[in-house]
Homo-oligomer: A and B are copies of this chain.
Amino acid sequence: MTETVQISLQDAFSLLTQVFERSGASKGVATSVAHALVAAESEGQIGHGFSRVADYAAQLQSGKINPNADMVLTRPAPAGLHVLADYGFAYPAIEAALAAGLPLAREMGIAVMTIGNSHHCGALAIHVEKIAQAGLVGLMVANTPKAIAPWGAKDPVFGTNPIAFATPVKDAPPLVIDLSLSVVARGKVMAAKKAGKPIPTGWALDAQGQPTTDPEAALEGTMLPIGDAKGTTLALMIEVLASALTGSAFSAEAGSFFHADGPRPNVGQTIIAIDPGSRSDFGARVKTLLDQIAAMPGARLPGARRRAAIARSESDGLQVPAHLFHQVQKLANPDAQT
């Protein structure tokens, strides 16, 4: 049993904002990053929440994350926006893209937002959910540091390259989908390593391309994709959309999202928002489909666990592992007595 500390969403948000301001971020950037990490933690995506704070702070201090990033938004085409994140955090760049891109999608019927020279964008669910809350259909892809080998090869080329989707649903919260193309998230292997536990076969291969149950060997090898060759094919598709189309590094070139030193990640994100407005029954049709699935014995709708976690976090606050909480508290108030 891990010892945990209970903290309200508001207190968590204030604490994290303080950490990032102290580490060199502007008030606005610190706010944006703190908001995203607390949202990820609150929805149960603990690999994208408190566990990232110390690494983000260290990268800000070393300059691996540019604390003075001069983010620039341009409109290279009537229905296209590009945000140059200038090696700063991804979160404010994505916020800027959505702030301009959602009205644009409503005006044009569809808009594409590319974000280049970016960093870790955390739980994609948080970003696409905002698109659906605005009444639009959202699609988002991102590339991430190399983790998956092309099918048949043994060296990683693709990231776990997540894809996310969200759609409005009539008289209900949006449907939010967010998945990576590896069988499991790399964070699960890291968690197994920390816990000193083996991983199931089918999650990863070692550096020689052989199946392994050793999390350490897995982290030096590659993650297995969903659907074998089909998964690596989808990872290639996302690689083109998130790196070449955004002017960012390929996953194989990207620096780590962890550690204070080493090359910058320089990854990219591509977001597409579509206005279903011309189809008046759209939200109702999606509701019909989801209701039909929910009524089937054994079936579970994507996002159900996520929404339950958010509701729990909103009423009871976050349960953060004590060692993480104290680490973050120390970063917020380095001079305080402990």
| A98 beta carbon closer than 8 Å to chain B | no
Closest to A112 in B: B110
| A28 beta carbon closer than 8 Å to chain B | no
Which A residues from 223 to 272 make CB contacts under 8 A with B? 226-231, 233-234, 236-237, 239-241, 243-245, 247, 250, 252, 272
CB distance from A78 to the nearest CB of B (A): 5
CB distance from A207 to the nearest CB of B (A): 14
Q: Which residues on the B side are within 8 Å of A19 (C-beta)?
A: none
Measured in the bound complex, the distance between the Cα atoms of B239 and A167 in whole Å is: 12
| A317 beta carbon closer than 8 Å to chain B | no
B109-A298 in contact (CB<8A): no
Q: Which residues on the B side are within 8 Å of A299 (C-beta)?
A: 149-153
Closest to A178 in B: B233
List the interface of chain A (C-beta within 8 A of B).
76-80, 82, 107-112, 137, 149-155, 157, 163, 165, 167, 175, 177, 179, 183, 209, 226-231, 233-234, 236-237, 239-241, 243-245, 247, 250, 252, 272, 274-279, 281-282, 285-286, 288-289, 292-293, 296-300, 302
Q: Which residues on the B side are within 8 Å of A236 (C-beta)?
A: 175, 177, 289, 293, 302
B276-A79 in contact (CB<8A): no
Contact of A80 among B110, B157, B298, B300 (CB under 8 A): B110
Extra inter-chain contacts (11) besides given A137-B245, A183-B227, A226-B228, CB under 8 Å: A78-B107, A80-B109, A151-B299, A151-B300, A157-B292, A177-B236, A244-B279, A244-B286, A250-B285, A250-B289, A272-B272
Q: Which residues on the B side are within 8 Å of A226 (C-beta)?
A: 226-228, 230-231
Contact A240 to B109, CB < 8 A, known contacts A151-B300, A230-B179: no
- Can you show 14 pairs from A to B with CB atoms below 8 A apart? A79-B108, A79-B111, A150-B293, A150-B299, A153-B297, A154-B298, A157-B296, A177-B233, A177-B234, A226-B226, A240-B286, A243-B285, A244-B276, A244-B279
